[in-house]
Each structure stands twice: as C-alpha cells, then as structure tokens.
C-alpha cells in the first residue's frame, strides 16, 4: 500500500527559541484513519502547519504521496486537504462562494466547482444556508463549512485539526458518520482531537506526541490492548449500605445507588454480580467510567513527563 | 498547475476581490464620488473662480486630471492593503497559501483587484467631473496607460503595506502620513512652475508628481515633466515594487511562521 504521508526527523524551533518539534517521525498509509493526539502545546498543530506549508520547518523531511514538499510543493498540495483548528474563511462571504473560490484556487473550473459545492453542502446539511454570509452560521455549521471547503478539490489526504471542537453531540455523530464514509471511499484521514472517544471510535492507527516527540505510534487495537485495569460503574436499583470484601477487585460506593468497580483487564465481573444477586440488589445499568483511550493517554503522557523531568 | 488551472486561480482571486469591494460599495465607491464633488464645488467653483486660468486652462479644468488620479491612487492602494491585511487578520489568506497557486498569481490577483477598484472609482470620478468641467481628451493612449500603470503601482505599494502590517493602525499610517501629503503636494492643484526654484526641485522627488503630470498630459496636452521621464519613473517603481512584493510572499513575511 502507498504511503500517504511520510515524516522524518521533523523539527521546528520558533524565533523566540521555543523548540516545538524535536525530530518527529511517523508514517500514515494510504486509506488509513490516523489519530494524532497530544496535549495542548505538544506539537500537533505545528506538525500540521508544516505539512500544509503554513509553518516553515527547521529541519526534516515531509512527503505527501511520495512527493517531497521541498522538491514539488505545489504538486504535493493538490493531494492535501486541511481543516484547521480555527475558522479561517472570510466571514463576509456567502457560504457557497467560499467553496467555489476554494475550488478555483486549485484550478477547478467554475462549473465543476458549483456542482461539487452543491454536493458537499447538501451532504453536510448546509444547502439551505448557501446564500448566507458565513458570519451568520452557528459554530457547528462553520465547522461543517470548513470540512466542505477542504473537500472541494477532492484531496487524497485530509487533515482535520480538532474538527468537532465546540460541536453538539448530534452534529458530532453526523460528522463522524460523514468522515467514515469519505474514509471508506478512499480518502486518508489524519485527525487531531481532544475528544479521545472520537479518536477511539474513528481511527485505526494512532500517534501520540508530547513535548515535540512522538511517544507512541501504533495501531489503536495494540494500544488499547495495553490497558491494565478497567473501571466500571454500576447503577443499582436498591440501596447498598456496605461494601463486600471481594478478592481481585476494588469497590467504591459513589452513593447508595452507584457502585464503582476497578479490576484487572480481562477479569470477570461475576463475583460482583453474584454478591449483588445474593443480597437481592438489582443492577439497572453498567458503563465504563472513563474512556479507555483517555486512561492510556494520561498514563503515556505522565510517563513521558516524568522521563522529561528525569533528563 | 497547468496554464489553464493558473488562469482559473487568477480569475477566482480577481472576481473575489472585485465582489469584495462591490459588496461594500457604500464604503468603497460612494465616498470618492462625494469627495470629488466637494473638491469641485469648493476648489473649482468658489476658490477657482478667484484664481483664473492655469497654464492656459480654466482652473476647474486644470485640476480634473489630478483629482481623478488622486482617487485612483488612494483607492487602488486602499483596496489591496485592506483586503490583504483583512485576509491575514481573518486567516483566510491560508486558503491561498495551502493551495498550489504560485505566489506570482496571488500577487497579480490582488493587484488586479486594486486596479479594478481604481478603475471603477476613476470612472465614477470622471463622470462626476463632467458635471463641473468641459472634459478634454488630448491623447487617450497616454491617459489610459498612465491610469492603469498608476493603479498597478499603488496596488503593489498597498500589498507591501498589507504584508508588513500587524494591526489596523499600520494600514492607515502610510495612507494618512505619507500618501495623502505626497498626493496633495504632487501638483494636483497647482503647476510646480508656480513654486520657488528650491521647491520646484524638491517636488521632483515626489513620484506622484510624475503620474499626475503624465495623466494631465493625456487630458490637456500640458505637463510640467517630460512624458518619457514620467513613464520611466512609473515603470521603474512598478518593477521594483513587484519584485519586492513577490520576495515578501516567497519568504512568507507576516503570513508564515
């Protein structure tokens, strides 16, 4: 399979001396849905800025579908679509015009651009707003407009920098569905997000960046496989006044109807259910307390921080 | 990008720039028409009547070319500086920066937008002028070429200002403290032959003087400066400012970190 994005030894030192990237290397295969995660200031946006030419790199190599950006950047750019973190369209332009202009910048004739604009505006639920000035759109609509705009030249690689920030849950789910569809149709996607359940739900591979270094680059399945302990929350139908003493798990009573169970990954919950059944206590529902990826992410970043401090 | 794709990109930028200033015509197109009408009423009718003839022409007719040129200069400059800085401020310049459009096309697109506004405003001012004076036409080719070249020159100057600007104050400092004084001292309202010898020589350092005089030549057939010198100065400035602007874009000055 072709490599959609190849990054090698990427570093960036800003004029004020801040070293944002310290030799970042990773690769994204064609057709992948790749999560690039990191805390604020970890280096995600700098990496994306360099890939998309908005930030000049200090050192390193970036290739998009085998095209070195230092050799033929204009050609590399034709394969790249970008949805930046901040709204960066002209808010005084009508929605449809923003899309048609974007296509024009890639040399796409107006007739084709108009058809594509209609397709994406309908697909993303913005068709009724096509004549509205962009400033009059809601936050969620603006996010969808950014996605529609990035697709106007039908890029093979789409980079989304926190595309669902500030978007309500319903729209977020519809955006996830849309992203799954375009990924299934062959578009390689790189996603950065602070909603880790979003990354867990959408992405197949993952890179974690911290202090300008890639500290993890693996598949989502392998990463989640490292989870040592899991926490479940049980909503009880009856009052539980005292905690049982069960081997191999820790129990906490959050309130008299809510029980938290922490146990090693893969261990069965049968003992807990057995005890509750014995005492005639009904379990109404059960859920994971924390997002699994979130737990791992926190552990990895904390370990990385500890290593940084030690050195 | 192929030649056809580059042309599509260029046309897109020009149309976008054109629609931008047309959409806000109350701010961009209307004020010059009102200002010019006021100039004619005050300087032409009221004061001009006391002045009499200038270089063998009615004062009103003498100042028409300068007033049109002033509108072209200020509007082509203002269009590019506000549009380019606005794009930086709103970050929508990134739409162009991440696309494969070559930098020279971006520059030519913005400059064409400035020329378009200069042309629209210049035509409106000319129409307004026709109500107050008997417009003459001495050499249409000189008139049109100086008109376009001046608009190109000040669009480029506006682009450089926009590239360096870091705040809205920065885009008004040059027009207020440099452009306006140079325009007023550029022979719009008088012939430099009326000035003492020292100020005649000093006036030659003002590039706007060459544009105003060459443009006046196109209308009236009189100029304080040789036409060849005027063209050389205007074209020379255009070449310098073009390469300077392109260099700023290539370096990503103020738009890439």
Q: What is the pLDDT of residues A275-287, one digit of tens each?
A: 888 888 888 888 8
Chain A residues touching residue B11 (CB < 8 angstroms): 104
C-beta atoms of A53 and B95 within 8 A = no
- Give Cα A185 distance to the centre of its chain: 19
As for the ipTM of the complex, it is 0.85
* Mean of pLDDT over chain A: 87
Residue A228 has pLDDT above 80, yes or no: no
Residue A262 has pLDDT above 90, yes or no: no
User: For chain A, what percent of residues have pLDDT higher than 70?
Assistant: 95
Is the CB of A43 inside 8 Å of chain B's CB atoms?
Answer: no
- Burial of residue B231, with CB atoms counted within 10 A of its CB: 0-12 exposed, 13-18 middle, 19 or more buried: middle
Name residues 96-115 of chain B within 8 A of A (Cβ).
Answer: 96-102
Q: From the candidates B2, B10, B11, B12, which should be mutated to test the interface with A, based on the most A CB atoms within 10 A?
A: B12
Residue B4 has pLDDT above 70, yes or no: yes
Q: Which residues of B163-177 are buried (b: 16+ CB within 10 A; e: fewer)?
A: bebeeeeebeebbee
* Res A137: pLDDT: 93
Chain A residues touching residue B1 (CB < 8 angstroms): 74, 107
Mean pLDDT for B223-248 is 94
pLDDT digits (tens, 9 = 90+) for A267-276: 788 888 888 8
User: For chain A, what percent of residues have pLDDT higher than 90?
Assistant: 49
Residue A310 has pLDDT above 70, yes or no: no
Q: From the candidates B8, B104, B108, which should be mutated to test the interface with A, based on the most A CB atoms within 10 A?
A: B8
Mean pLDDT for A94-98 is 95
Is the CB of B26 inside 8 Å of chain A's CB atoms?
Answer: no
* Res A189: pLDDT: 96
Report which of A304, A293, A298 is spatially closest to residue A220, judged by C-alpha positions. A293
Which range has the worst mean pLDDT, A235-244, B63-72, B169-178? A235-244
Is the CB of A24 inside 8 Å of chain B's CB atoms?
Answer: no
C-beta atoms of A104 and B12 within 8 A = yes
Which residue does chain A place closest to B84, by CA atoms?
A90
CB pairs under 8 A between A and B: 87
Chain A residues touching residue B5 (CB < 8 angstroms): 106-108
CB count, 10 Å around CB of B75? Answer: 30
User: pLDDT-derived band of residue A40, with 50, 70 and 90 as boundaries?
Assistant: confident
Residue A156 has pLDDT above 90, yes or no: yes
Phi, psi (5° rounding) for residue A121? -65, -40
Chain B residues touching residue A91 (CB < 8 angstroms): 90
Cβ A101 vs Cβ B87: under 8 Å: no
Cβ A44 vs Cβ A215: under 8 Å: no
A186 CA to chain B: closest CA distance, Å? Answer: 21
Which range has the worst mean pLDDT, A47-56, A197-206, A228-237, B88-97? A228-237
Tell me the sheet residues that pair with A64.
Answer: A5, A67
Which residue does chain B place closest to A93, by CA atoms?
B20
Cβ A223 vs Cβ A296: under 8 Å: yes
Q: Is B180 helix (H, G, I), strand (E, B) or coil?
A: helix
Q: What is the three-state SS of B208-222?
A: HHHHHHHHHHHHHCC
Mean pLDDT for A179-191 is 94
A224 CA to chain B: closest CA distance, Å? Answer: 35
Mean pLDDT for B35-44 is 83
* Res B5: pLDDT: 94
Give the nearest partner residue to A107 out of B8, B23, B92, using CB atoms. Answer: B8
Chain A residues touching residue B92 (CB < 8 angstroms): 88-90
Is the CB of A125 inside 8 Å of chain B's CB atoms?
Answer: no
Which residue does chain B place closest to A84, by CA atoms?
B94
Which range has the worst mean pLDDT, A231-245, B162-176, B224-238? A231-245
pLDDT digits (tens, 9 = 90+) for A165-176: 877 888 888 889
Phi, psi (5° rounding) for residue A20? -80, -35
Q: Is B142 helix (H, G, I), strand (E, B) or coil?
A: helix
In angstroms, rounded to a whole number, what is the distance separating the alpha carbons of residues B95 and B108? 16
* Res A166: pLDDT: 76
Sign of CA dihedral A121, A123, A124, A126: positive
Is the CB of A14 inside 8 Å of chain B's CB atoms?
Answer: yes
Give the nearest partner residue to A54 out of B4, B5, B98, using CB atoms. Answer: B98
Give domain limits for chain B.
3-251
Mean pLDDT for A85-107 is 93
* Res B212: pLDDT: 92
Which residue does chain A place closest to B83, by CA atoms?
A90
User: pLDDT-derived band of residue A292, with 50, 70 and 90 as boundaries?
Assistant: low
C-beta atoms of A86 and B91 within 8 A = yes
C-beta atoms of B100 and A52 within 8 A = no
Cβ A59 vs Cβ A9: under 8 Å: yes
Which strands make up the sheet holding A19-29, listed edge to edge?
Answer: A19-29, A3-13, A59-64, A67-68
C-beta atoms of B8 and A109 within 8 A = yes
User: pLDDT-derived band of residue B60, with 50, 70 and 90 as boundaries?
Assistant: confident
Highest mean pLDDT among A144-148, A240-244, B170-174, B203-207: A144-148
Residue A9 has pLDDT above 90, yes or no: yes
Is the CB of B144 inside 8 Å of chain A's CB atoms?
Answer: no
More confident residue, A20 or B134: A20
Strand runs (DSSP E) across chain A, as ranges?
3-13, 19-29, 33-37, 59-64, 67-68, 80-83, 157-161, 188-192, 205-210, 213-219, 229-236, 250-255, 258-264, 283-288
Is the CB of A90 inside 8 Å of chain B's CB atoms?
Answer: yes
User: pLDDT-derived band of residue A290, with 50, 70 and 90 as boundaries?
Assistant: low
């Amino acid at each position: 399979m072709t490599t959609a994005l190849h990054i090698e030894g990427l570093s960036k030192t800003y004029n004020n001396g801040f070293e944002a990237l310290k030799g970042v290397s990773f690769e994204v295969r064609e057709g992948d849905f790749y999560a690039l995660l990191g805390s604020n200031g970890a280096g995600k946006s700098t990496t994306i800025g360099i890939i998309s030419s908005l930030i000049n790199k200090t050192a390193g190599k970036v290739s998009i579908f085998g095209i070195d950006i230092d050799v033929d950047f204009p050609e590399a750019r034709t394969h790249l679509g970008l949805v930046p973190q901040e709204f960066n369209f002209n808010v005084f332009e009508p929605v449809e015009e923003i899309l048609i202009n974007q296509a024009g910048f890639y040399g796409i004739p107006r007739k084709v651009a108009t058809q594509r604009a209609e397709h994406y505006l309908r697909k993303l639920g913005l068709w009724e707003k096509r004549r509205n000035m962009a400033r009059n759109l809601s936050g969620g609509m603006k996010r969808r407009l950014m996605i529609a705009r990035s697709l106007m030249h039908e890029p093979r690689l789409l980079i989304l920098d926190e595309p669902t920030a500030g978007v309500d849950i319903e729209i977020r789910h519809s955006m996830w569905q849309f992203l799954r569809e375009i990924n299934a149709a062959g578009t390689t996607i790189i996603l950065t997000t602070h909603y880790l359940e979003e990354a867990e739900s959408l992405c197949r591979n993952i890179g974690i960046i911290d202090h300008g270094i890639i500290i993890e680059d693996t598949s989502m399945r392998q990463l989640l496989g490292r989870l040592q302990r899991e926490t479940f929350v049980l909503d009880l139908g009856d009052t539980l006044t005292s905690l049982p003493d069960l081997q191999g798990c820790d129990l906490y009573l959050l309130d008299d109807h809510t029980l938290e169970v922490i146990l090693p990954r893969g261990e069965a919950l049968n003992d807990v259910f057995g005890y509750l059944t014995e005492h005639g206590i009904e379990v109404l529902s059960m859920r994971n307390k924390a997002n699994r990826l979130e737990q791992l992410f926190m552990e990895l970043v904390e370990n990385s921080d500890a290593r940084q401090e030690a050195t | 990008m192929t030649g056809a794709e580059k042309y599509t990109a260029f046309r897109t930028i020009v149309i976008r720039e054109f629609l931008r200033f047309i959409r806000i015509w109350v701010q961009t197109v209307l004020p010059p028409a009102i200002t010019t009408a006021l100039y004619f009423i005050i300087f032409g009718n009221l004061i001009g009547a006391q002045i009499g003839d200038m270089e063998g022409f009615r004062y009103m007719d003498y100042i028409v070319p300068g007033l049109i040129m002033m509108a072209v200069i200020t509007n082509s400059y203002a269009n590019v500086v506000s549009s380019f800085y606005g794009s930086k401020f709103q970050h929508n310049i990134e739409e162009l920066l991440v696309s494969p459009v070559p930098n020279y096309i971006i520059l030519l697109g913005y400059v064409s937008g400035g020329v378009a506004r200069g042309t629209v405003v210049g035509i409106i001012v000319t129409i307004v002028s026709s109500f107050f004076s008997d417009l003459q036409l001495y050499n249409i080719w000189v008139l049109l070429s100086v008109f376009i070249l001046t608009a190109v020159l000040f669009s480029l100057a506006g682009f450089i200002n926009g590239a360096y600007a870091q705040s809205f104050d920065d885009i008004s400092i040059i027009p207020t403290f440099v452009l306006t004084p140079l325009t007023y001292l550029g022979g719009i309202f008088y012939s430099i032959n009326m000035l003492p010898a020292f100020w005649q020589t000093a006036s030659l350092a003002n590039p706007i003087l060459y544009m105003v005089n060459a443009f006046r030549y196109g209308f009236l057939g009189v100029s304080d400066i040789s036409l060849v010198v005027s063209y050389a100065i205007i074209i020379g400035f255009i070449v310098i400012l073009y390469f300077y602007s392109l260099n700023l874009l290539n370096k990503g000055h103020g738009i890439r970190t």
